[in-house]
Amino acid sequence: MRRTEISRRQLLRGGGAAAVALPVAGFLAGCSFTQPGGGQPAGSTLDQIKKQGFARIAIANEPPYTQIKPDGTVTGAEPDVVAAVLKRMGIPEIQGVVTPYESMIPGLNANRWDIIAAGLFMKQSRCSQILYSEPEIVSTESFAVPAGNPKNLTSVAAVKADPAVKVAVLPGGFEDGALKTQNVPAAQIVNIPDGRSGIEAVQAGRADAFFLPTLSLNSLKTDGIDITPPIQDVQQTGSGAGFRKADTDLVNAYDEQLRALKASPEFDQILSKWGFSADAARGVTRDQLCAVAG
Ligand code: 6CS
């Protein structure tokens, strides 16, 4: 299984082999070029990725959900699950494209990638725009706060109760949506571009908390910062692979092999490596997670 990261610019530029400089030989042979205007070559996405032998996946590079190693290898809980399912479908390779969460669905629908494999949590508004596989990951949310949690921020309600409190979030991310769904005023929300910036905002006092999945914050933890226990007044977070609405044949084929993977110890091995519970993912359905408000 070859897994390499390519930049969106490289993929978008894909008009000619010479334009794409990648660390891994062989990608050029199977490069699926994005047609001007994002048009998908003729044939279904399933046919296309089977023929070319790889799928382009949108990732965020937010360990442990997604991670790009220094040599460009794409890994993390979600890409590892997606790669294992695709391998069972006879598709040996994934190509990762790093992009912000808020761009993942628009980019998927513009044919910039074939699958979202980033831990893009299911909720009503997202499930109305794309098709999700059955759940692959279930997780929790926390705040990164100054050591000792001086403002005792342990819930969204605590944030809302003090208009002076500011919370850093990734714009368009699940946490941003959760604050807005609970009517936290925009004046209390600080947008930051990535995980490191969120931690720095708290360290510099520009935000009183940084709102992100618990395991992601644990990966970012540094001196002077505490990570709260899971926030209890946020609805359940869980993700699966994301697909275009038109790709029902791909989703059905994917779900069939995902069911086989989830019935095997391989699923436990992948998830536990990254700190997730395989049984938690087995115990929830796509319909349940797509019912999450927001
Ligand atoms: O689903 C989302 O938007 C969130 N998912 C992860 C894995 N991290 C942050 C992001 O906001």
Do 8-138+237-290 and 141-227 have matching folds?
A: yes
List pLDDT tens digits, range 174-221: 999 999 999 999 999 999 999 999 999 999 999 999 999 999 999 999
Q: How far is the CA of 233 from the centre of ligand 1 (A)?
A: 17
| Highest CATH level, class, for 141-227 | alpha beta
- Tell me if 170 CB under 6 Å of ligand 1: yes
Q: How far apart are CA 234 and CA 184, in angstroms?
A: 13
- Tell me if 79 CB under 6 Å of ligand 1: no
**pLDDT over 80 (residue 230):** yes
List pLDDT tens digits, range 8-63: 444 433 233 222 223 332 232 233 333 334 444 557 999 999 999 999 999 999 99
| Burial annotation 193-230 (CB, 10 A radius, 16+ → b, else e) | eebebbbbbbbeeebbbbbbbbbbbebbeeeebbbbee
**pLDDT over 50 (residue 293):** yes
- Tell me if 144 CB under 6 Å of ligand 1: no
Runs of H (alpha helix) within 20-173: 45-52, 77-88, 101-109, 124-127, 156-161
Q: How far is the CA of 79 from the centre of ligand 1 (A)?
A: 14
Give residue 1's pLDDT: 59
pTM above 0.85, yes or no: yes
Give residue 43's pLDDT: 75
Give residue 122's pLDDT: 98
- Tell me if 119 CB under 6 Å of ligand 1: yes
**pLDDT over 60 (residue 75):** yes
The residues with which 115 forms a beta bridge, in sequence order, are 57
Higher-confidence residue: 112 or 7?
Answer: 112
Q: How far is the CA of 121 from the centre of ligand 1 (A)?
A: 6
Amino acid type, 232: Q
List pLDDT tens digits, range 253-290: 999 999 999 999 999 999 999 999 999 999 999 999 99
What is the residue with the minimal CA distance to atom 6 of ligand 1? 119
Q: Mean pLDDT, to the nearest integer, of 82-94?
A: 98
Q: Which atom of ligand 1 is nearest to the CA of 126?
A: 1
The residues with which 195 forms a beta bridge, in sequence order, are none
List pLDDT tens digits, range 123-169: 999 999 999 999 999 999 999 999 999 999 999 999 999 999 999 99
Q: How high does pLDDT run on average in the chain?
A: 89
Q: Which atom of ligand 1 is nearest to the CA of 212?
A: 9
What counts of helices (H) and strands (E) characterise the chain? 13, 15
Ligand 1 pocket, mutate which of 126, 130, 132, 174 (most atoms under 8 A from CB): 174
What is the CATH number that goes with domain 8-138+237-290?
Answer: 3.40.190.10
CB 68 within 8 A of CB 254: no
Nearest residue to 11 via CA among 91, 131, 96:
96
- Tell me if 175 CB under 6 Å of ligand 1: yes
- Tell me if 173 CB under 6 Å of ligand 1: yes
Tokens at residue 25, please? 């030989």
Q: Domain extents for the chain?
A: 8-138+237-290, 141-227
Counting residues of the chain whose pLDDT is more than 90, the rounded percentage is 85
